[in-house]
Protein backbone atom coordinates (compact mmCIF):
# COMPACT_ATOMS: atom_id res chain seq x y z
CA UNK A 1 0.00 0.00 0.00
CA UNK A 2 1.32 3.42 -0.86
CA UNK A 3 1.75 5.97 1.92
CA UNK A 4 -0.77 8.81 1.49
CA UNK A 5 0.80 11.51 -0.57
CA UNK A 6 -0.26 12.80 -3.94
CA UNK A 7 -2.56 10.05 -5.14
CA UNK A 8 -5.77 10.86 -3.37
CA UNK A 9 -7.84 8.58 -5.59
CA UNK A 10 -5.97 5.40 -4.69
CA UNK A 11 -6.68 3.71 -1.31
CA UNK A 12 -3.71 4.37 0.91
CA UNK A 13 -2.53 4.09 4.52
CA UNK A 14 -3.43 6.69 7.15
CA UNK A 15 -1.88 5.93 10.54
CA UNK A 16 -1.52 2.30 9.60
CA UNK A 17 -5.16 1.70 8.67
CA UNK A 18 -6.74 1.61 5.25
CA UNK A 19 -8.40 4.97 4.68
CA UNK A 20 -11.65 5.57 2.91
CA UNK A 21 -11.77 6.92 -0.59
CA UNK A 22 -10.78 10.55 -0.12
CA UNK A 23 -11.81 13.60 -2.10
CA UNK A 24 -10.79 17.21 -2.28
CA UNK A 25 -14.17 18.06 -0.75
CA UNK A 26 -13.43 16.12 2.45
CA UNK A 27 -9.81 16.09 3.54
CA UNK A 28 -10.49 15.20 7.18
CA UNK A 29 -7.72 13.12 8.69
CA UNK A 30 -5.65 12.95 5.53
CA UNK A 31 -2.19 14.03 4.64
CA UNK A 32 -3.27 15.18 1.21
CA UNK A 33 -1.34 18.11 -0.14
CA UNK A 34 -3.91 20.84 -0.58
CA UNK A 35 -3.11 24.38 -1.60
CA UNK A 36 -5.58 26.45 0.38
CA UNK A 37 -3.99 29.62 -1.06
CA UNK A 38 -2.95 31.09 2.28
CA UNK A 39 0.21 31.31 4.34
CA UNK A 40 1.39 33.60 7.11
CA UNK A 41 -0.45 36.16 9.23
CA UNK A 42 -4.11 36.94 8.48
CA UNK A 43 -4.97 39.69 6.00
CA UNK A 44 -6.89 42.62 7.43
CA UNK A 45 -9.28 44.36 5.03
CA UNK A 46 -8.86 48.12 5.47
CA UNK A 47 -10.51 49.90 2.57
CA UNK A 48 -12.55 49.10 -0.56
CA UNK A 49 -11.90 50.91 -3.85
CA UNK A 50 -14.89 51.26 -6.18
CA UNK A 51 -14.36 53.87 -8.89
CA UNK A 52 -10.59 54.25 -9.36
CA UNK A 53 -7.95 51.50 -9.36
CA UNK A 54 -5.17 52.40 -6.89
CA UNK A 55 -1.45 51.93 -7.54
CA UNK A 56 0.39 53.47 -4.56
CA UNK A 57 -0.26 53.96 -0.86
CA UNK A 58 1.18 55.78 2.11
CA UNK A 59 0.03 55.94 5.73
CA UNK A 60 0.84 58.83 8.08
CA UNK A 61 1.77 58.55 11.75
CA UNK A 62 -1.84 59.47 12.60
CA UNK A 63 -3.19 56.70 10.37
CA UNK A 64 -4.27 58.90 7.45
CA UNK A 65 -4.22 56.81 4.24
CA UNK A 66 -3.27 58.30 0.88
CA UNK A 67 -3.70 56.54 -2.47
CA UNK A 68 -2.53 57.26 -6.01
CA UNK A 69 -4.21 56.27 -9.27
CA UNK A 70 -2.12 55.94 -12.37
CA UNK A 71 -4.19 55.58 -15.55
CA UNK A 72 -4.60 59.02 -17.02
CA UNK A 73 -8.35 59.23 -17.49
CA UNK A 74 -9.40 59.15 -13.84
CA UNK A 75 -10.95 62.31 -12.45
CA UNK A 76 -8.09 62.68 -9.96
CA UNK A 77 -4.69 61.00 -9.47
CA UNK A 78 -3.99 61.58 -5.74
CA UNK A 79 -6.53 60.94 -3.02
CA UNK A 80 -7.01 60.63 0.72
CA UNK A 81 -9.19 57.91 2.20
CA UNK A 82 -12.22 59.42 3.97
CA UNK A 83 -13.99 56.25 5.13
CA UNK A 84 -14.04 52.50 4.40
CA UNK A 85 -15.43 52.97 0.89
CA UNK A 86 -14.54 56.45 -0.36
CA UNK A 87 -11.62 58.79 -1.06
CA UNK A 88 -11.40 62.45 -2.01
CA UNK A 89 -8.88 64.40 -4.17
CA UNK A 90 -5.84 65.51 -2.18
CA UNK A 91 -4.52 68.07 -1.23
CA UNK A 92 -7.38 69.88 -2.97
CA UNK A 93 -8.93 70.80 -6.31
CA UNK A 94 -6.15 73.33 -7.09
CA UNK A 95 -3.70 70.44 -7.73
CA UNK A 96 -6.09 68.44 -9.88
CA UNK A 97 -5.31 68.70 -13.61
CA UNK A 98 -8.43 67.57 -15.53
CA UNK A 99 -7.99 64.51 -17.87
CA UNK A 100 -8.43 66.79 -20.92
CA UNK A 101 -5.25 68.73 -19.97
CA UNK A 102 -2.84 65.96 -18.96
CA UNK A 103 -1.50 65.32 -22.46
CA UNK A 104 -1.20 66.88 -25.89
CA UNK A 105 -0.10 65.63 -29.31
CA UNK A 106 2.70 67.24 -31.31
CA UNK A 107 3.54 65.96 -34.80
CA UNK A 108 1.70 62.75 -34.04
CA UNK A 109 3.64 62.13 -30.81
CA UNK A 110 1.80 62.13 -27.50
CA UNK A 111 3.41 64.12 -24.66
CA UNK A 112 2.37 64.50 -21.04
CA UNK A 113 1.70 67.97 -19.67
CA UNK A 114 4.66 69.97 -18.31
CA UNK A 115 2.51 71.51 -15.58
CA UNK A 116 4.65 71.58 -12.43
CA UNK A 117 1.86 72.83 -10.16
CA UNK A 118 -0.72 70.17 -10.98
CA UNK A 119 -0.79 66.36 -10.72
CA UNK A 120 -0.77 64.43 -14.02
CA UNK A 121 -0.08 60.74 -13.32
CA UNK A 122 0.89 60.02 -9.71
CA UNK A 123 2.54 56.66 -9.16
CA UNK A 124 4.25 56.40 -5.76
CA UNK A 125 3.73 57.95 -2.33
CA UNK A 126 5.96 58.04 0.73
CA UNK A 127 5.67 59.62 4.19
CA UNK A 128 8.79 60.91 5.97
CA UNK A 129 8.62 61.60 9.72
CA UNK A 130 8.98 65.05 11.27
CA UNK A 131 12.61 66.26 11.53
CA UNK A 132 14.31 69.51 12.62
CA UNK A 133 14.14 70.65 8.97
CA UNK A 134 10.71 69.50 7.88
CA UNK A 135 7.25 68.59 9.21
CA UNK A 136 5.87 65.09 8.66
CA UNK A 137 5.65 65.11 4.87
CA UNK A 138 3.76 63.24 2.16
CA UNK A 139 6.03 62.90 -0.88
CA UNK A 140 4.26 62.47 -4.21
CA UNK A 141 5.99 61.07 -7.29
CA UNK A 142 4.24 62.30 -10.43
CA UNK A 143 5.57 60.27 -13.39
CA UNK A 144 4.20 62.86 -15.82
CA UNK A 145 3.42 60.13 -18.36
CA UNK A 146 -0.33 59.47 -18.36
CA UNK A 147 -1.81 56.56 -20.30
CA UNK A 148 -4.37 58.08 -22.56
CA UNK A 149 -7.58 56.96 -24.20
CA UNK A 150 -8.80 53.49 -25.02
CA UNK A 151 -5.46 52.42 -26.52
CA UNK A 152 -3.72 52.99 -23.20
CA UNK A 153 -0.89 54.76 -25.03
CA UNK A 154 1.69 56.17 -22.61
CA UNK A 155 2.55 59.82 -23.29
CA UNK A 156 6.21 60.92 -23.21
CA UNK A 157 7.49 62.91 -20.22
CA UNK A 158 8.31 66.62 -20.34
CA UNK A 159 10.40 68.45 -17.73
CA UNK A 160 8.04 69.83 -15.09
CA UNK A 161 5.43 67.14 -15.62
CA UNK A 162 7.65 64.58 -13.91
CA UNK A 163 8.17 65.85 -10.37
CA UNK A 164 8.53 65.12 -6.70
CA UNK A 165 6.09 67.14 -4.59
CA UNK A 166 6.34 67.54 -0.81
CA UNK A 167 3.11 68.20 1.12
CA UNK A 168 3.19 69.12 4.82
CA UNK A 169 0.86 66.82 6.73
CA UNK A 170 0.54 69.52 9.42
CA UNK A 171 -1.42 71.87 7.13
CA UNK A 172 -1.82 70.01 3.78
CA UNK A 173 0.14 72.71 1.94
CA UNK A 174 2.71 71.96 -0.77
CA UNK A 175 6.16 72.96 0.55
CA UNK A 176 8.50 71.87 -2.27
CA UNK A 177 8.45 70.80 -5.92
CA UNK A 178 11.52 69.10 -7.43
CA UNK A 179 11.70 68.60 -11.19
CA UNK A 180 14.23 66.72 -13.34
CA UNK A 181 16.10 67.79 -16.49
CA UNK A 182 15.42 65.70 -19.60
CA UNK A 183 19.02 64.41 -19.43
CA UNK A 184 18.10 62.70 -16.13
CA UNK A 185 14.44 61.95 -16.67
CA UNK A 186 14.38 60.98 -20.35
CA UNK A 187 11.11 61.46 -22.25
CA UNK A 188 10.76 57.64 -22.16
CA UNK A 189 11.79 57.31 -18.49
CA UNK A 190 9.16 56.09 -16.08
CA UNK A 191 10.06 56.83 -12.47
CA UNK A 192 8.25 54.19 -10.47
CA UNK A 193 9.17 54.20 -6.79
CA UNK A 194 11.43 56.08 -4.39
CA UNK A 195 13.11 55.86 -1.00
CA UNK A 196 14.48 58.60 1.26
CA UNK A 197 17.50 58.96 3.48
CA UNK A 198 16.70 62.16 5.39
CA UNK A 199 19.28 61.73 8.14
CA UNK A 200 21.50 64.77 8.47
CA UNK A 201 24.65 62.86 7.55
CA UNK A 202 23.13 61.45 4.33
CA UNK A 203 24.35 64.43 2.29
CA UNK A 204 26.69 67.38 2.77
CA UNK A 205 23.81 69.84 2.85
CA UNK A 206 21.95 67.75 5.44
CA UNK A 207 18.58 67.94 3.65
CA UNK A 208 18.54 64.31 2.58
CA UNK A 209 18.72 62.26 -0.57
CA UNK A 210 16.20 60.33 -2.67
CA UNK A 211 16.73 57.20 -4.78
CA UNK A 212 14.21 56.57 -7.56
CA UNK A 213 13.78 53.54 -9.83
CA UNK A 214 13.30 54.10 -13.57
CA UNK A 215 11.05 51.25 -14.66
CA UNK A 216 10.59 52.42 -18.25
CA UNK A 217 8.92 49.86 -20.51
CA UNK A 218 11.08 51.39 -23.27
CA UNK A 219 13.98 49.83 -21.33
CA UNK A 220 16.49 52.67 -20.85
CA UNK A 221 16.37 51.72 -17.18
CA UNK A 222 18.46 52.98 -14.31
CA UNK A 223 18.39 54.60 -10.89
CA UNK A 224 17.90 58.34 -10.43
CA UNK A 225 19.37 60.11 -7.40
CA UNK A 226 18.13 63.50 -6.14
CA UNK A 227 19.84 65.71 -3.54
CA UNK A 228 17.02 67.46 -1.65
CA UNK A 229 19.39 70.25 -0.56
CA UNK A 230 20.69 71.32 -3.97
CA UNK A 231 17.85 69.99 -6.13
CA UNK A 232 20.48 68.38 -8.35
CA UNK A 233 19.67 64.95 -9.81
CA UNK A 234 21.70 62.38 -11.73
CA UNK A 235 21.51 58.81 -13.07
CA UNK A 236 23.37 55.62 -12.24
CA UNK A 237 23.24 51.99 -13.43
CA UNK A 238 21.95 53.15 -16.82
CA UNK A 239 21.28 50.10 -19.02
CA UNK A 240 22.97 47.91 -16.39
CA UNK A 241 21.60 44.31 -16.49
CA UNK A 242 20.47 44.68 -12.85
CA UNK A 243 18.06 47.52 -13.68
CA UNK A 244 16.64 46.16 -16.95
CA UNK A 245 13.71 43.77 -17.27
CA UNK A 246 14.80 40.29 -18.34
CA UNK A 247 14.23 39.53 -22.02
CA UNK A 248 11.59 36.97 -22.98
CA UNK A 249 9.68 36.80 -19.67
CA UNK A 250 6.08 35.50 -19.90
CA UNK A 251 4.64 35.95 -16.42
CA UNK A 252 1.46 34.24 -15.21
CA UNK A 253 -1.02 36.05 -12.99
CA UNK A 254 -4.07 34.46 -11.29
CA UNK A 255 -3.83 31.34 -13.40
CA UNK A 256 -5.59 31.14 -16.76
CA UNK A 257 -7.04 34.31 -18.22
CA UNK A 258 -6.03 36.57 -21.03
CA UNK A 259 -3.52 35.10 -23.49
CA UNK A 260 0.00 34.99 -22.13
CA UNK A 261 2.44 37.44 -23.65
CA UNK A 262 5.90 38.88 -23.17
CA UNK A 263 6.21 41.53 -20.49
CA UNK A 264 9.37 43.56 -19.92
CA UNK A 265 9.67 46.29 -17.31
CA UNK A 266 12.80 47.48 -15.54
CA UNK A 267 13.86 48.57 -12.07
CA UNK A 268 10.72 48.80 -9.92
CA UNK A 269 10.96 47.76 -6.25
CA UNK A 270 13.54 49.78 -4.31
CA UNK A 271 14.37 49.85 -0.60
CA UNK A 272 17.06 51.15 1.77
CA UNK A 273 18.44 49.16 4.68
CA UNK A 274 17.95 50.75 8.15
CA UNK A 275 21.33 52.56 8.01
CA UNK A 276 20.80 54.02 4.52
CA UNK A 277 24.03 52.42 3.33
CA UNK A 278 22.58 49.69 1.09
CA UNK A 279 19.94 50.04 -1.62
CA UNK A 280 18.05 46.88 -2.62
CA UNK A 281 16.30 46.83 -5.98
CA UNK A 282 14.84 44.57 -8.64
CA UNK A 283 13.42 44.89 -12.12
CA UNK A 284 9.69 44.17 -12.41
CA UNK A 285 10.23 41.29 -14.83
CA UNK A 286 13.13 39.45 -13.22
CA UNK A 287 13.50 36.79 -10.53
CA UNK A 288 16.68 38.37 -9.15
CA UNK A 289 17.22 40.69 -6.19
CA UNK A 290 20.15 43.10 -6.40
CA UNK A 291 21.86 45.54 -4.03
CA UNK A 292 24.46 48.29 -4.13
CA UNK A 293 26.16 50.37 -1.45
CA UNK A 294 24.61 53.83 -1.61
CA UNK A 295 28.03 55.53 -1.54
CA UNK A 296 28.42 54.47 -5.19
CA UNK A 297 25.06 56.03 -6.08
CA UNK A 298 25.75 59.27 -4.19
CA UNK A 299 29.08 59.78 -5.96
CA UNK A 300 28.75 61.47 -9.34
CA UNK A 301 31.83 63.61 -9.04
CA UNK A 302 34.29 61.97 -11.39
CA UNK A 303 34.60 60.28 -14.75
CA UNK A 304 34.77 56.87 -13.08
CA UNK A 305 31.73 57.28 -10.73
CA UNK A 306 29.39 55.63 -13.18
CA UNK A 307 31.71 52.69 -13.89
CA UNK A 308 32.39 52.27 -10.15
CA UNK A 309 28.64 51.98 -9.52
CA UNK A 310 28.25 49.48 -12.37
CA UNK A 311 31.13 47.40 -10.96
CA UNK A 312 29.66 47.20 -7.46
CA UNK A 313 26.17 45.81 -7.97
CA UNK A 314 25.62 42.60 -6.02
CA UNK A 315 23.40 39.85 -7.37
CA UNK A 316 21.63 38.37 -4.30
CA UNK A 317 20.16 35.48 -6.27
CA UNK A 318 16.74 34.37 -7.40
CA UNK A 319 13.63 34.45 -5.25
CA UNK A 320 11.15 32.32 -7.24
CA UNK A 321 9.10 35.01 -8.92
CA UNK A 322 9.01 38.50 -10.41
CA UNK A 323 8.66 41.32 -7.89
CA UNK A 324 7.34 44.84 -7.81
CA UNK A 325 6.97 47.15 -4.75
CA UNK A 326 9.31 46.73 -1.76
CA UNK A 327 9.01 47.59 1.92
CA UNK A 328 11.33 47.13 4.90
CA UNK A 329 11.36 47.01 8.67
CA UNK A 330 13.78 48.03 11.43
CA UNK A 331 15.31 44.51 11.41
CA UNK A 332 16.58 45.08 7.89
CA UNK A 333 14.16 42.60 6.30
CA UNK A 334 13.24 43.45 2.70
CA UNK A 335 9.60 42.65 1.84
CA UNK A 336 8.81 42.21 -1.86
CA UNK A 337 5.42 42.12 -3.60
CA UNK A 338 5.24 38.96 -5.74
CA UNK A 339 2.33 39.33 -8.17
CA UNK A 340 2.71 35.91 -9.80
CA UNK A 341 2.14 34.19 -6.44
CA UNK A 342 -0.37 36.56 -4.80
CA UNK A 343 2.23 36.89 -2.10
CA UNK A 344 4.77 39.00 -0.27
CA UNK A 345 8.19 37.41 0.08
CA UNK A 346 10.90 38.61 2.44
CA UNK A 347 14.69 38.73 2.06
CA UNK A 348 16.70 38.34 5.26
CA UNK A 349 20.22 39.86 5.03
CA UNK A 350 21.36 37.56 7.87
CA UNK A 351 20.31 34.22 6.35
CA UNK A 352 20.79 35.57 2.80
CA UNK A 353 17.52 33.89 1.85
CA UNK A 354 14.18 35.01 0.48
CA UNK A 355 11.17 33.26 2.06
CA UNK A 356 7.40 33.60 1.94
CA UNK A 357 6.03 36.17 4.38
CA UNK A 358 2.36 36.05 3.41
CA UNK A 359 0.19 34.59 0.69
CA UNK A 360 -3.55 35.09 0.19
CA UNK A 361 -5.93 34.80 -2.79
CA UNK A 362 -7.06 38.38 -2.03
CA UNK A 363 -3.55 39.69 -2.65
CA UNK A 364 -3.81 40.66 -6.32
CA UNK A 365 -0.85 42.62 -7.71
CA UNK A 366 0.80 43.51 -4.38
CA UNK A 367 2.78 46.72 -4.89
Ligand X SMILES: *[C@@H]1O[C@H](CO)[C@@H](O)[C@H](O)[C@H]1NC(C)=O
Helix (H, G, I), strand (E, B) or coil at 294: helix
What's CA 31's distance to the chain center, in Å?
38
Residue 118 binding ligand X, by CB under 6 A: yes
What is the nearest approach in angstroms of ligand X to the Cβ of residue 288?
A: 26
Q: Which residue intervals of the chain are DSSP H helices?
A: 294-298, 305-311
Q: How far is the CB of 184 from ligand X (least distance, A)?
A: 22
**Sole binder of ligand X in the list 15, 100, 201, 351 (CB under 6 A):** 201
Question: At its nearest, how many Å lie between ligand X and the CB of residue 168?
Answer: 19
Distance CA 327, CA 351 (A): 18
Which residues make Cβ contacts (< 8 Å) with residue 185, sequence separation at least 6? 144, 157, 159, 162, 191, 214, 224, 233
* 153 binds ligand X, rule: CB under 6 A: no
Q: Which residues of 232-267 are buried (b: 16+ CB within 10 A; e: fewer)?
A: ebbbbbbebebbbbbeebeeeeeeeeeeeeebbbbb
In the shown chain, the binding pattern of residues 69 to 88 toward ligand X, with x for contact by CB under 6 A and - for none, equals ----x--------xx-xx--
What whole-number distance in Å separates Cα of residue 157 and Cα of residue 19? 65
- In the complex, least distance from residue 85 CB atom to ligand X, rounded to whole angstroms: 5
Closer of 94 and 107 to ligand X (Cβ): 94
Q: Determine the interface stretch with ligand X among 49-57, 113-121, 214-222, 328-336 (rule: CB under 6 A).
A: 113-121
Instruction: Tell me the backbone φ, ψ of residue 100, rounded to 5 degrees.
Output: -70, -15
Element (H, E) at 65: strand 65-68
152 lies in the binding site for ligand X (CB under 6 A) = yes
| Alpha carbon distance 325, 246 (integer Å) | 17
The nearer residue to ligand X, 168 or 203, going by C-beta atoms, is: 203
Spatial distance between the Cα atoms of 95 and 116, rounded to a whole number of angstroms:
10
Site string for ligand X, 269-308 (x = CB under 6 A): ------xxx-------------------------------
DSSP 229: T
Only segment of 112-120, 221-229, 300-308, 320-328 that touches ligand X (CB under 6 A): 112-120
Q: Which is nearer to ligand X, 40 or 241 (CB)?
A: 40
Rounded Cα distance between 325 and 297, Å, is 20
Nearer to ligand X, 114 or 168 (CB): 114
Of residues 16-45, those binding ligand X (CB under 6 A): 20, 26, 28-29, 36, 38-39
Give whichever of 276 and 325 is closer to ligand X, judged by the CB atom. 276
State which residue, 8 or 244, has the beta carbon closest to ligand X: 8
Binding positions for ligand X, rule: CB under 6 A: 20, 26, 28-29, 36, 38-39, 73, 82-83, 85-86, 94, 96-97, 115, 117-118, 150, 152, 199, 201-202, 275-277
Amino acid sequence: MKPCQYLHYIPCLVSGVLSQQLTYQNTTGTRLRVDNGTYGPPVEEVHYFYDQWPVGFAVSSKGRIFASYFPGNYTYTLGEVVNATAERPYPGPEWNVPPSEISEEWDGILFGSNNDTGFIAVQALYVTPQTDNRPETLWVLDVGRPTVGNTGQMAYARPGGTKLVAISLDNNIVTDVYTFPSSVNYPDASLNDFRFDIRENATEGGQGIVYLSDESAEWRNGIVVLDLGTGESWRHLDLHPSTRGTYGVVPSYQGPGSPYSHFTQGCDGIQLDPTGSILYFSPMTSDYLYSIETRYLKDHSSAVSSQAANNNVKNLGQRGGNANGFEADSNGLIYQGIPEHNAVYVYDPVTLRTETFIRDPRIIWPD
